[in-house]
Amino acid sequence: MSRVEATIVGTVSKVLVSIGDDIQSGQEVVILESMKMLIPVEATKAGKVTAIHVKEMDFVNEGDTLIVLEESQ
């Protein structure tokens, strides 16, 4: 199990993945908006999306969990 966390405090601009998606390490999974900048958050590991903890316009703090992955073997 691996978590993708918010890299900065801000709001969720867009969620780019759905539950069940297979994603690669380095793939952008969420776009945050902070300081009027669009800030992509990338997965640091490859895996299947098992949970999405946020939706558009949600406020998040740095370190909050955005997405949970089941890591690829």
Residue 23 CB, nearest approach to another protein (Å): 19
Residue 24 CB, nearest approach to another protein (Å): 18
30 in Cβ contact with 66 (< 8 Å): yes
Q: Give the contact letters, 9-48, x = binds to another protein (CB under 8 A), - = no.
A: x------------------------xxxxxxx--------
User: What is the distance between the alpha carbons of residues 54 and 16, in angstroms, rounded to a whole number?
Assistant: 11
Strand order in 22-23's β-sheet? Answer: 2-5, 65-71, 47-52, 22-23
Residue 67 CB, nearest approach to another protein (Å): 18
The reply on whether position 51 binds another protein by CB under 8 A is: no
Contacts with another protein by CB under 8 A lie at 7-9, 34-40, 61-62
